[in-house]
Amino acid sequence: MTGPIRNVSDTALWVAMYRAFESERPDALFRDPFARRLAGARGEAIVASMPRGRAMSWPMVVRTAVMDEIVLRCVQQGCTTVLNLAAGLDTRAFRLPLPKALRWFDADLPEMVAYKQQQLAGEQPACSYQAVAVDLVDAAARASLFARAAQGGGPVLVVAEGLLVYLQAAEVQSLAQQLHDQPAFRWWLIDLASPQLLKMLQRNWGKRLAEGNAPMRFAPAEGTAFFLPHGWREVEYRSTWEEATRLRRTMRLAWLWRLLSKLMPAKKRAQFRRFSGMVLLERT
């Protein structure tokens, strides 16, 4: 193995490093005081190894900030449990202003859970927190986890940040159906790439991710309509591009892309808006 990414779990170190960069800005959109500790030297090495690694932090930062907003809003609307799938090194249960009675489950592979617990030893979560070691590819293990999360009666918010893109379409279908089987699961928060974005990511990062057995795969041509047959409908779509403009975390030469987008036909502009986004789904 020549690259610093050894497996899909290492992508959590990569994203944690981006959260550290943002947290250290004087005008930070969020503060994650644990991010640099969790990312460690390997997280820094991963960013350094990726083409335009530091420059491409903006969509991850925007994703984090927007999902923070949506999580807090769902809690305000009555969410009693958050089920965070493939939680990686996410620290929302520790850094967001959450009610103490909120139940929060961080679920990930045993090695990731153990590493995170070691790094956060002594830190106090804001809510009722449980870390669950589970292989989410195992349908039976997933079912057990979902039943456990549903025991509180709901409504439950399921979070899957940075997960679906690494799955096959059939795996996403199975996951969607299994989530819908739990009546207490009301919302499902995801990020979604378009086929055009997936092609771009594969060109830029595909080789390094494939070397680490972490290829990006899922980007349905039908967008959020993919989830409708499995019991989930879109209730909110937050375009990464539009949110980056709102939050002032745009890419270099963003002004030029904005100008070009104004010259596009309406259909192309709509497609551009759905290039990448954060989506809140609700059970049908």
Residue with tokens 């956060």: 120
b/e code 216-235 from CB counts within 10 Å (16+ = b) = bebbbeebbebbeebbbebe
Q: What is the pLDDT of residue 226?
A: 98
Question: Which pLDDT value is given to residue 1?
Answer: 43
Classify residue 260 by burial, with Cβ atoms within 10 Å: 0-12, 13-18, 19+.
exposed
Q: Specify the residue for token string 């060109």.
A: 203
One-letter amino acid of 263: L
CA neighbor of 75 nearest in space, from 106, 93, 99: 99
Name the β-bridge partners of 168.
none
Whether the Cβ atoms of residue 220 and residue 227 lie closer than 8 Å to each other:
no
CA angle 237, 250, 194 (to 5 degrees): 40
- For the chain, 284 residues long, the average pLDDT of each consecutive 10-residue run is 70 94 97 97 89 82 98 98 97 98 97 97 97 94 96 93 94 96 97 91 71 80 97 97 93 62 72 87 97
**Which top CATH class is 57-204+216-283?**
alpha beta
Three-state SS at 245: helix
- In sequence order, the 6+-apart residues with CB closer than 8 A to the CB of 104 are 81, 82, 84, 92, 93, 98, 125, 127, 128, 129, 130
Where are the chain's structural domains?
A: 57-204+216-283
**pTM of the entire structure?**
0.91
